[in-house]
Amino acid sequence: MDPIAESTVSTRVPLRTLPRTPSGADSGTEVAHWVRRAQAGDLAAYDHLVSEFRERIYGLCYHMTGHHEDANDLAQDAFVKAWQALRNFKGDSSFYTWIYRIAVNTCLNHLKLRRNRTQHLSLSPSCSASSTRRCSSCRKITGPW
């Protein structure tokens, strides 16, 4: 057998032994520790949680929107919303499940707003409203976005 092929075969790691968390170091109990510290007001602990889950939440947002800029903004919005609601996190689910759901809802709201704006623009291409006035033909509020 070819020596290069032998070394490739011998260095393969079975998939079931790969770590499930992004860094491989954080277990559920360690994440719970950081969550408890963040709930107590420790901003550095929350920053640790953000850095731990940032890429996964960004990937989710990018998958849902298809735009890098929107994904960055929405991921940041999800983490801000999570920080504001952190005291309500009971720990019934994992922190990632909780922040994942916040991110999904943030993206869905964004997509709904974007769809509504697109429909408004396509329904009244000759809309007479200027800047932030109410359109007389479709009765929707128009504005610079």
121-133: pLDDT as tens digits: 555 555 555 555 5
- Helices 43-65, 28-39: crossing angle, 10 deg rounding: 110
CATH number of this structure's domain 53-120, picked from the four choices 1.10.1740.10, 3.40.50.920, 3.40.50.720, 3.40.50.1010: 1.10.1740.10
Counting as low any pLDDT under 50, the low residues of the chain are 1-26, 145
pLDDT the model gives residue 34: 96
Token output for 82 = 């999570």
pLDDT the model gives residue 2: 47
pLDDT the model gives residue 28: 80
pLDDT the model gives residue 17: 38
Token output for 87 = 């005291």
Burial 101-117 (b: 16+ CB within 10 A, else e): ebbbebbeebeeeeeee
Name the phi and psi angles at 38, rounded to 5.
Answer: -65, -40
